[in-house]
């Protein structure tokens, strides 16, 4: 189990990890020096000849030094789902992912009822506000609770705007087209940083334009859309596709829907456009090694993210678990390796981003710095928060991981509650 070290912005103590291999966005620096104070990185590079006496030196010899993970697609963990819709569940899921090195995340909705989605967004907002108040108050007792959480950057409004035929493990009856009065209520309920909608749904253009104006990463997921529908969505601000190859259209599925002549699908549109990013679930069960390698080769590390897409079954024993709020009556089965739907199809992962990083490193020939970038800097860039986190750079938050040679998380240094504005 990793050790957690929260870094408060009012703490003047200077700390430095010395002797490890620092993973930067484009290279790995051996015998590195990574220093921070007051929760901000102050120096990254070679070990200086003289280290000030006021610096607390932490020996990292034989370890990797990595930026904290940024997860843009995550449903829960530790027995809790963000859609449970209460602060305790949100804290439980966040703490679980923090132990795996995820220092920034976007709690992700499902195709729940309107009321359950509102409740989830408001609960995430309450959790964020609690953290903000803690930092201002200076109350040591309250701060200790806040210090157990990673940075919650905002909600990923994922469901409910899916097409039913591509609903996956999400509740099919909850899939619906976007209506302005409904999605405006979601945005008013709390901070939304990522917004998803299938590109063939009525009202999708209005949704995309609205979300783009609100500063969201606008995405298409659980969709059977054609090339032309994707092109229209892209013009309206959509620039990302959720979990590549999973619950998305293909030439064959579009032909079944729209007939001949055969048309391009989400897959071809994403591969053909440099302005489109996407993500992969590298848990070892959703995608084969050659598909993971191919996605990196085609989209490059600057436009490909690693996501966990994990459920409440993370760090829990094998068994039956609710996906979303239990009252929605959607259940998946964890076999201890991956989530499965009642029909036997894949249903979310049960691992965190640290596992995805290790798996990518073990089954592909992708450079380690590219793999780490896809779990940190790239998702931060795509969501517009890379000025604050995502890489080991001076001025950014001191969200720093110490990994052993097998890329297992040993220590997590992080700055709770400091969201990018």
CA distance 355 to 370: 16
CA distance 248 to 265: 9
Domain of 190, CATH number, reads 3.20.20.140
| pLDDT per residue as tens digits for the range 35-87 | 999 999 999 999 999 999 999 999 999 999 999 999 999 999 999 999 999 99
| pLDDT per residue as tens digits for the range 93-130 | 999 999 999 999 999 999 999 999 999 999 999 999 88
Structure tokens at 120: 């989830």
CA distance 211 to 216: 6
Q: Which residue has the tokens 């928060």?
A: 385
- pLDDT for 145 equals 37
In a domain? residue 324: yes
Is the pLDDT score of 140 beyond 50? no
- Report phi then psi at 45, rounded to 5: 165, -150
Structure tokens at 229: 């529908």
| pLDDT per residue as tens digits for the range 258-283 | 999 999 999 999 999 999 999 999 99
Dmax over CA atoms of the chain, in Å, equals 73
CA distance 412 to 380: 18
Is the pLDDT score of 421 beyond 70? no
In a domain? residue 35: no
Enumerate the β-bridge partners of residue 153. Answer: none
In a domain? residue 6: no
Is the pLDDT score of 147 beyond 60? no
Among 368, 347, 348, 349, smallest CA distance to 358 is for 368
| pLDDT per residue as tens digits for the range 338-392 | 999 988 899 999 999 999 999 999 999 999 999 999 999 999 999 999 999 999 9
More confident residue, 418 or 70: 70
∠ CA 169-170-173, nearest 5°, is 125
Is the pLDDT score of 133 beyond 90? no
Q: Which residue has the tokens 């009822």?
A: 113
Residue 108: domain span: 68-389
In a domain? residue 29: no
In a domain? residue 394: no
Ranking 137-146, 171-180, 303-312 by mean pLDDT, the lowest is 137-146
Residue 75, CA atoms < 13 Å, CB-side half-sphere: 29
CA distance 64 to 222: 36
- pLDDT for 138 equals 33
In a domain? residue 262: yes
Q: 108 with 154: CB under 8 angstroms?
A: no
User: HEC profile for 105-151?
Assistant: EEEECCCCCHHHHHHHHHHHHHHHHHHHHHHHHCCHHHHHHHCCCCE
The pLDDT-based confidence of 11 (bands split at 50, 70, 90) is confident
The pLDDT-based confidence of 8 (bands split at 50, 70, 90) is confident
- Report phi then psi at 61, rounded to 5: -55, 135
Is the pLDDT score of 134 beyond 90? no
Strand ranges (E), 132-283 = 151-152, 155-157, 192-196, 217-220, 240-241, 277-280
Report the b/e string of 301-326 with b at 16+ CB within 10 A: bebbbbbbbbbbbbbbeeeebbbbbe
Start-to-end Cα distance in the chain:
32
Enumerate the β-bridge partners of residue 403. Answer: 64, 409
Is the pLDDT score of 286 beyond 50? yes
Domain count, the chain: 1
Q: 280 with 308: CB under 8 angstroms?
A: no
In a domain? residue 400: no
- pLDDT for 132 equals 54
- pLDDT for 130 equals 84
Among 244, 250, 292, 299, smallest CA distance to 271 is for 299
- The sheet with strand 69-74 has its strands ordered as 69-74, 102-107, 151-152
Q: How high does pLDDT run on average in the chain?
A: 94
Is the pLDDT score of 233 beyond 80? yes
In a domain? residue 186: yes
In this structure, the strands spanning 102-107 and 69-74 are: parallel
The alpha carbon of 98 is separated from its chain's Cα centroid by a whole number of angstroms, namely: 12
């Amino acid at each position: 189990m990793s050790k957690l070290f929260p870094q408060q912005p009012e703490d003047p103590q200077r700390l430095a990890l010395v002797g490890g291999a620092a993973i930067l966005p484009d290279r790995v620096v051996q015998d590195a020096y990574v220093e921070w104070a007051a929760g901000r990185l102050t120096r990254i590079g070679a070990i200086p000849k003289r280290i000030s006496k006021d610096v607390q030196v932490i020996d990292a010899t034989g370890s990797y030094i990595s930026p904290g993970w940024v997860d843009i697609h995550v449903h829960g963990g530790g027995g809790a789902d963000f859609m449970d819709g209460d602060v305790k569940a949100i804290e439980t899921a966040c703490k679980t992912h923090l132990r795996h090195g995820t220092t920034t995340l976007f709690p992700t909705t499902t195709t729940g009822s309107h009321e359950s989605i509102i409740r989830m967004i408001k609960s995430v907002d309450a959790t964020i506000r609690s953290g903000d108040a803690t930092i201002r108050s200076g109350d040591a007792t309250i701060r200790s609770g806040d210090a157990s959480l990673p940075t919650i950057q905002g909600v990923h409004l994922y469901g409910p705007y899916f097409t039913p035929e591509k609903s996956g493990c999400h509740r099919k009856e909850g899939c619906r087209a976007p209506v302005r009065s409904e999605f405006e209520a979601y945005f008013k309920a709390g901070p939304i940083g990522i917004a998803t909608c299938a590109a063939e749904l009525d009202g999708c253009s209005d949704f995309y334009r609205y979300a783009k104006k609100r500063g969201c990463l606008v995405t298409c997921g659980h969709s059977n859309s054609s090339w032309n529908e994707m092109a229209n969505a892209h013009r309206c601000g959509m620039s990302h596709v959720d979990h590549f190859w999973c619950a998305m259209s293909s030439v064959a599925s579009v032909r079944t829907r729209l007939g001949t002549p055969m048309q391009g699908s989400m897959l071809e549109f994403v591969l053909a456009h440099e302005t489109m990013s996407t993500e992969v679930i590298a848990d070892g069960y959703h995608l084969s090694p050659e598909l993971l390698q191919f996605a990196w080769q085609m989209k490059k590390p600057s436009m490909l993210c690693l996501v966990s897409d994990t459920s409440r079954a993370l760090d829990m024993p094998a068994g039956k678990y609710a996906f979303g709020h239990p009252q929605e009556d959607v259940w998946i089965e964890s076999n201890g390796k991956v989530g499965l739907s009642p029909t036997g199809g894949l249903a979310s992962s049960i691992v965190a981003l640290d596992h995805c990083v290790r798996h990518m490193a073990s089954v592909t020939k992708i450079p380690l710095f590219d793999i780490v970038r896809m779990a940190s800097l790239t998702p931060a860039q795509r969501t517009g928060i890379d000025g604050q986190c995502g890489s080991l750079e001076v001025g950014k938050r001191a969200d720093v991981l110490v990994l052993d040679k097998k890329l297992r998380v040993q220590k997590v240094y992080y700055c709770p509650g400091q969201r990018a504005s």
